Structure formats: C-alpha cells, structure tokens
Amino acid sequence: MMLEVDGLTKYFDTPSGRVHSVDGVSFTVSKGETLGLVGESGCGKSTTARTIIRLYDPDGGRIIFGGHDITHATQRKLLPFRRRMQMIFQDPYASLNPRMTAGEIIREPMIIHSIPKDEHTDRVSHLLKLVGLNSEQAGRYPHEFSGGQRQRIGIARALAAEPEMLICDEPISALDVSIQAQIVNMLEDLQESLGLTYLFIAHDLSMVRHISTRVAVMYLGNIVELAGSDELYTRPLHPYTVSLLSSVPVPDPTAQRHIIPLKGEIPSAINPPSGCKFHTRCPKAKPECSQLRPELSDKGSGHFCSCPFV
C-alpha cells in the first residue's frame, strides 16, 4: 500500500470559531493507482491534500506513507518522504517563483534533495521534454509562458526529485478546457512510463472518471462514498453523489437527463449539522439522520457509502 489515511482531522481556529475542514477522513491508495477525490468547493479536498503531505500539521488521525507513519514526523525526518511524495498545485502561476527561470524552478528540488550537481542540466532538459516543452525554454521566466505551459513546468518540478506519488490538487481547474485534456492525458502517460501513483483532486466529475481507478466523494470534511470509478458513476449510492452526477453535462444534446438539485447552501464548517452533515440538504433524510453520525460501510464489492438507508 502506497498511502493509508486513517481518521485524519484538521481544524483551523478563527475569531468566529473552529473550522472543521477535515473531520475524520480515511482512505487508502495502492501503488500505481489513481484515487480521485471530488466534492463541492470548500468541502476540504485541498486541506486534506496539504495535510497528507504535511504542509499542514494534522490535529488527529494517522498518515502512513510507504509503510512509515509520518503523522508527527519532524521536518528533518520528513525530507526523504518529501522526495518520494510531491505535489502539483492548482494555480500554476502562483506556485512558481516569478524571479526564477523555468530551469531554476525545476532544478530547485534537485538541490534540496542533494542530487549531484553535474546531473542537473541534463535532468532539466529531460524533464522539460518529458512534459512537452523543450530545453531552449529553460531560460524563460514564468510570465513568458501560457497557463498550460506553466502547469507543465510545475509538473516537471514535481518530477525532478523522482517521486513515487504525486498529489494533484486541482491541477487543471485554472486552465482552458482545450488544455485540460492535454494535461490529463500527459499525466496518464507519465503514470504509465514512470510507475507513478496519484491522488487526483478535482471538481470536474467527467475528468475524474477519465483518469481515476477509484473515486472518493467528499462533503463538508467527510468521505461519504468511495468506489471503483465505473462502479461509482454507473451505480452511485449516496444521495449527495447521485445529485452531483445528475448535473454532469453529457455530450449528447438529445439525451434525457433528470437533474436532482440540492436544496439550500452548504452548511458552515464552523457550525456543521449534528449527525449526518448532509441531512439538512438530503432528499431522503429521516429524523434519526440528525442524531446519528454515519460511518463508511461496505455495501458490497468494495463500494463504500456512509448512508445507512441505501
């Protein structure tokens, strides 16, 4: 198993109260697979990613990477694990230092992880070609590239340390639709050629289905459903997942669609509902849903769902 997340929690204290960003999240990612993590904005997807890679310190639970517990590892002890698990960020412009050239940006992880200096130039050229750029572009600055090219530089930087796993935090959401498919196809090619494992976070459900082996659906800090990609998209169980998938655009304009709208707004993460956090918007809610907090349970064939009424 490449990654095990067990009961992960992350809270943020604000003047208005405690924000329950990640509230007991558990899942596993096997070597070589892609786990898609989806949900509405503000559900805790990015916080989960940043806590797993220890950009945030967790408040509870465990993070096991490659068989090693890194939940409370010091920064010094995290260094070798950081080489093995890298992150691709959502905004390719904000995540690149505007004062550094593309070559310097890609070279930086090699310096941090003590890769021999005489290998840097060749490795930078190789990585640029690997992501669809050329070595002549190494001397350019981020503002001289398009958004898609900047994201390719970010991917090259993530690959510079030769990681085993990439955490992709909405890596295509800031890109034009025409570029998104190119980046996803490139990530699939890289996974096959380099043997990578992905945690792929996105809100584009169509793209997640395309790239993911399994998909986890997140709502207000909790995983509410987890299943194989085809299984989840053809047989969603949780009312939240059913509603999300009903709104996914289909390429056939004549196809009959039954969109199931969600009532109300997402509750505040500072004062989340008691019991099942989804019960205030759920079309199938029962009185007991406001009292009992459901847990993920296997509904058969590895299809996990937290709703006890499906």
Tell me: the pLDDT tens digits for 160-206?
999 999 999 999 887 888 899 999 999 999 999 999 999 999 987 88
The stretch 256-277 carries a mean pLDDT of 84
Closest CA to 281 of 28, 22, 43, 36: 43
pLDDT of 231 reads 96
pLDDT of 265 reads 82
pLDDT of 253 > 70? The answer is no
Count how many residues are written for the chain. 310
Architecture of domain 3-305: 3-Layer(aba) Sandwich (3.40)
pLDDT of 260 > 90? The answer is no
Closest CA to 128 of 99, 162, 161, 155: 155
Alpha helices by DSSP H, listed for the chain, are: 45-52, 75-84, 102-112, 120-130, 147-159, 177-194, 205-211, 229-234, 239-246
Cα separation, 130 vs 159, whole angstroms: 10
The stretch 260-289 carries a mean pLDDT of 90
pLDDT of 249 > 80? The answer is no
pLDDT of 203 reads 83
Specify the pTM: 0.94
Q: Take residue 86 and report the two structure tokens written for it.
A: 């890298």
For residue range 116-169, what is the model confidence (pLDDT) as tens digits? 999 999 999 999 999 999 999 999 999 999 999 999 999 999 999 999 999 999
Q: Take residue 303 and report the two structure tokens written for it.
A: 């299809």
Cα separation, 156 vs 168, whole angstroms: 13
**What residue segments make up the domains of the chain, in order of their start?**
3-305
Q: At what angle do helices 102-112 and 120-130 cross, to 10 degrees?
A: 120
The model's confidence at residue 91, banded by pLDDT at 50, 70 and 90, is: confident
Residue percentage of the chain with pLDDT more than 70: 97
67, 124 Cβ separation under 8 angstroms: no
187, 24 Cβ separation under 8 angstroms: no
The model's confidence at residue 254, banded by pLDDT at 50, 70 and 90, is: low
Residue 224 Cα to chain centre, angstroms? 16
pLDDT of 93 reads 83
pLDDT of 85 reads 97
Cα separation, 110 vs 112, whole angstroms: 6
Q: At what angle do helices 147-159 and 120-130 cross, to 10 degrees?
A: 130
Q: Take residue 27 and report the two structure tokens written for it.
A: 């899942």
Sole residue written with tokens 């990609």: 229
pLDDT of 178 reads 84
Cα separation, 209 vs 92, whole angstroms: 23
Cα separation, 297 vs 307, whole angstroms: 8
- When comparing pLDDT for 208 and 206, which is higher? 208
For residue range 39-57, what is the model confidence (pLDDT) as tens digits? 988 899 999 999 999 999 9
pLDDT of 250 reads 64
Lowest-pLDDT choice from 91-100, 131-140, 159-168, 259-268: 259-268
The model's confidence at residue 256, banded by pLDDT at 50, 70 and 90, is: low
* 60: β partners: 9
142, 96 Cβ separation under 8 angstroms: yes
The model's confidence at residue 269, banded by pLDDT at 50, 70 and 90, is: very high
Cα separation, 45 vs 39, whole angstroms: 7
> How much is the mean pLDDT over the chain?
93
pLDDT of 94 > 70? The answer is yes
Contacts of 114 (CB under 8 A, 6+ apart): none
